[in-house]
């Protein structure tokens, strides 16, 4: 592995390990039980949760652009992936609608609109986002979104 790839792998491993050590697996298991699947499966838009979406875009925009460009480079003629964004800059990524930064309130609203079998795709580590930035998004989901979704489920 190259230095950058090794760092990203180790950062991802540390991120997942920290989640389990801190008991986050319970929150994720509950989320799955509530039909809110935290899977990067390409069936919905890629969501990132932030109190201030504009400030979050300043942090994550280059990572979203990088990921979109990498996905585009892998596609052969006639092939399409869930991330089908042709962007030269962050503004074009934003306009594509594939990557979204939503507030906790907007996330709850999206979940409600999706219904019982809808899927929210949280994408906290997209394109190499630093784990500390990713945690901000996941912790907002845990604190401000998940309790409201649990309360709505009957």
**What is the 8-class DSSP label of residue 143?**
I
> How would DSSP label each residue in 50-65?
-SSHHHHHHHHHHHHH
Predicted TM-score (pTM) of the model is 0.68
Number of domains in the chain: 1
| Domain span holding position 23 | 3-152
Q: Is the dihedral of CA 120, 102, 70, 31 positive or negative?
A: negative
Summarize pLDDT for 83-123 with one digit per residue, the tens.
Answer: 778 899 999 999 988 899 999 999 999 888 877 777 777 88
Q: Which residue has the tokens 């875009």?
A: 57
Which range has the worst mean pLDDT, 57-61, 74-78, 79-83, 137-141?
Answer: 79-83
């Amino acid at each position: 592995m190259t230095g950058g790839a090794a760092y990203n792998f180790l950062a991802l491993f540390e991120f997942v390990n920290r989640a389990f050590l801190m008991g986050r697996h319970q929150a994720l298991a509950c989320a799955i039980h509530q039909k809110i699947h935290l899977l990067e499966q390409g069936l919905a838009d890629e969501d990132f949760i932030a109190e201030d979406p504009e400030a979050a875009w300043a942090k994550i925009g280059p990572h979203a652009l990088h990921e979109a460009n990498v996905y585009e480079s892998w596609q052969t003629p006639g092939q399409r992936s869930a991330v089908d964004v042709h962007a030269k800059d962050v503004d074009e990524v934003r306009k594509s609608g594939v990557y979204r930064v939503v507030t906790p309130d907007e996330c709850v609203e999206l979940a409600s609109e999706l219904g019982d079998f809808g899927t929210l795709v949280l994408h906290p580590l997209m394109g190499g986002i630093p784990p500390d930035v990713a945690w901000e998004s996941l912790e907002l989901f845990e604190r401000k979104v998940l309790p409201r979704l649990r309360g709505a489920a009957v």
